[in-house]
Chain A
Amino acid sequence: MKILVCISCVPDTTTKINFTADQKEFDTQGVQYIINPNDEFGLTRAIRLQQSHGAHVTVVTVGEVSCEQILRKCLAIGADAAVRIDAHPNDGYFVAKQLEAICIKQPFDLIITGRESIDYNGGMVGGMLATLMQLPYVTQCVGLEINGDQALMQREIDGGNEHSKANLPVVIGAQKGLVEEKDLIIPNMRGIMQARQKPLLVEAPLTIEAKSQIEFYEKPKPRGPVTLFDPSDVDGLLNALQNQAKVL
């Protein structure tokens, strides 16, 4: 079985978001990058399938050279091979088309994306890739078992869970619950050493026109100070919620 895990490199969750003075760009100064958390859950599930089913796990990112440290981390976690498509990820459609090209060149039985990237929150690349390739797609995936040539999946829906099955290949959008937080793999020294020997291929991108572009950014408006009430004065709080904020 061949698995492709699509990795988006995103600012660490603790990052304070700033934009350049002209508001045209995200200010990357001092920003630490991490594996998109949803992708990390997906990668961990893939490594478990490597252990249980002898699957071969390839990680791929569409990004600049600075993303290679993230791919090395994926290799240290246990992926067998890495591919970097050498392009700035202009928009979700652009990324999906680049990933489609990889999947056409080298077929995979299972394609794992994340539910969404925590930077632009598009939640689109997996669904677009699946539609381009006419493959079944389950997002908000919180359960995945492989049974022969079938995938048994669970999707978290608003207020419940939907179970489904499909023949491989399938595309999923991973999130927490696919594996537990405690099952995430922290690379050890041996993993880090081995990662250096594993292949990290750099491929040229296809020429694709992005379908959208960001004109400028805005920061949320600064908020006023909190209004505090004494612990004995819940009446004061309820009164404010009823008559001032008008939310009760």
Chain B
Amino acid sequence: MAVVIFIETQNGKASKTGLELLSYGRSIAEATSASLIAVIFSDSDTQELTDHGADVIYTVDTATDSNFNLERYSATLSEICALEKATIVVVSSSSEGRYLGPSLAVKTGATYLSNAVALPTTYNPLTVKQSCFTNKGFAISESMSSCTVLSLSSNAFGIHPQPGRGEVKTYPYASTKSKLEVTKVEHAQESISIADADIVVSGGRGLKGPEHWHLIEDLASTLGAATACSKPVSDLGWRPHSEHVGQTGKPVASNLYIAIGISGAIQHLAGINASKVKVVINNDPEAPFFKAADYGIVGDAFEVVPRLIEKLKALKKA
């Protein structure tokens, strides 16, 4: 029996969500007396993976293929799953994880269950709680196959390092000829992506125009946070589409979400509800966001935000 984890990389190193998957996988491995197998498509530092719970680490050298390649990654992983007799495979809910999961499930004949938010409650059959209706509800689902591919919602489990055996093996990259040819990859200048950020600072139409976005950007950079926005802000072209969060935009599951000049429409809230702590700054005490937030200030963003930035900078210096 084995639990297989796909470790995503960032600049050749395991990503934060990769480490979270290891913690999740470690708990499953303990509960089911299985080995925890980590697969990483890079020759990165494997010690970190051992420290976070991996019993066996497969490193796959992708040589000239520097980009994520759905067909070849999923072919390689499905071979490893067969070799190790995987019963549970875990990927993250990032762009790559959710791209890979369904394909891998079809290749291995497994059931795919997305957006798991907790450890499975039973293992035979496997049942697990998934978020659905964009965080407006949860479904407790049962897998009807002997192998299940799960995608874990980011930040749902946390990182709890606990060492594994750490046996390192190499595995050849599938030679499958890819039908899709990547021609160019553009990386936005934005320093922290919404998917990885612990803190997200988000602005709405209450900021009145793109010329005021320095407030959001300053606050974000002081906090080491990613920037985001409501849908109309991206529709109006004040900010790029990639910053639009909500039911029809990107999901946010950060530790802290700060909403400035955002009313808190149901479609917006749905997408950010998985965040742990929510702060709202809005000058309308009736704004629906106040019903969904943990902390709030009823006030003018143009007064409150500069004050916040100033205090935070002072705190940092102290």
Contact surface of A with B, Cβ cutoff 8 Å: 11, 13-14, 16-17, 19, 26, 37-38, 92-93, 96, 118-128, 130-132, 134-140, 142, 155-167, 170, 175-177, 180-182, 209-220, 223-224, 226-231, 234-235, 237-238, 240-241, 245, 247-248
Contacts and interface: CB of A to CB of B under 8 A. Distances in A.
A205 B311 CA distance: 63
B181 to A, nearest CB: 5
Given A128-B106, A157-B95, A164-B181, 19 more contacts: A16-B266, A17-B133, A37-B247, A93-B106, A118-B247, A119-B132, A136-B179, A158-B196, A159-B242, A160-B187, A162-B67, A163-B186, A211-B144, A211-B145, A223-B294, A226-B291, A229-B296, A229-B297, A237-B279
B63 interface: no
Interface stretch (B47-55, B134-142, B204-212): B134-142
Given A131-B102, A212-B142, A226 B296 contact: yes
Contact of B132 (A120, A213, A247): A120
Given A166-B179, A211-B111, A217 B279 contact: no
A227 B139 contact: no
Interface stretch (B36-44, B81-89, B299-307): B299-307
B13 interface: no
Of residues B138, B139, B244, which shows the largest number of chain A Cβ atoms within 10 Å of its Cβ? B139
A92 B290 CA distance: 36
Contact of B74 (A125, A131, A156): A131
Contacts of A175: 248
Contact of A165 (B132, B181, B292): B181
B131 A234 contact: no
B133 A226 contact: no
A156 to B, nearest CB: 6
Contacts of A240: 295
Nearest to B271: A118
Nearest to B126: A212
How would you classify the secondary structure of chain B's contact residues: helix, strand, loop or mixed?
Answer: mixed
Of residues A125, A127, A136, which shows the largest number of chain B Cβ atoms within 10 Å of its Cβ? A127
Interface in B149-201: 178-188, 190, 193-196, 198-199
B144 A210 contact: yes
A167 B193 contact: no
Contacts of B95: 140, 155-158
Contact of B102 (A128, A156, A176): A128
A92 B102 contact: yes
Nearest to A115: B98
B141 A214 contact: yes
B114 interface: yes
B304 A231 contact: yes
Contact of A227 (B144, B295, B304): B295
A234 to B, nearest CB: 5
A19 B295 contact: no
B125 to A, nearest CB: 10
B72 interface: no
B273 interface: yes
Of residues A14, A38, A124, which shows the largest number of chain B Cβ atoms within 10 Å of its Cβ? A124
B114 A164 contact: no
A37 B248 contact: yes
B119 interface: no
A216 B182 contact: no
Contacts of A165: 180-181, 183
Give the top 9 A-B pairs by smallest Cβ distance, nearest first.
A231-B299, A127-B102, A159-B193, A124-B102, A211-B111, A131-B106, A136-B180, A17-B136, A160-B187
A117 to B, nearest CB: 10
Contact of A158 (B144, B193, B256, B315): B193
Contacts of B113: 212
Given A13-B247, A131-B74, A212-B111, A226 B181 contact: no
Of residues A138, A158, A170, A210, which shows the largest number of chain B Cβ atoms within 10 Å of its Cβ? A158
Given A160-B185, A209-B144, A124 B101 contact: yes
Contact of B311 (A121, A177, A181, A235): A235
Of residues A135, A138, A214, which shows the largest number of chain B Cβ atoms within 10 Å of its Cβ? A214
Nearest to B240: A177
A220 B266 contact: no
A245 B115 contact: no
A177 B241 contact: yes
A180 to B, nearest CB: 8
B280 interface: yes
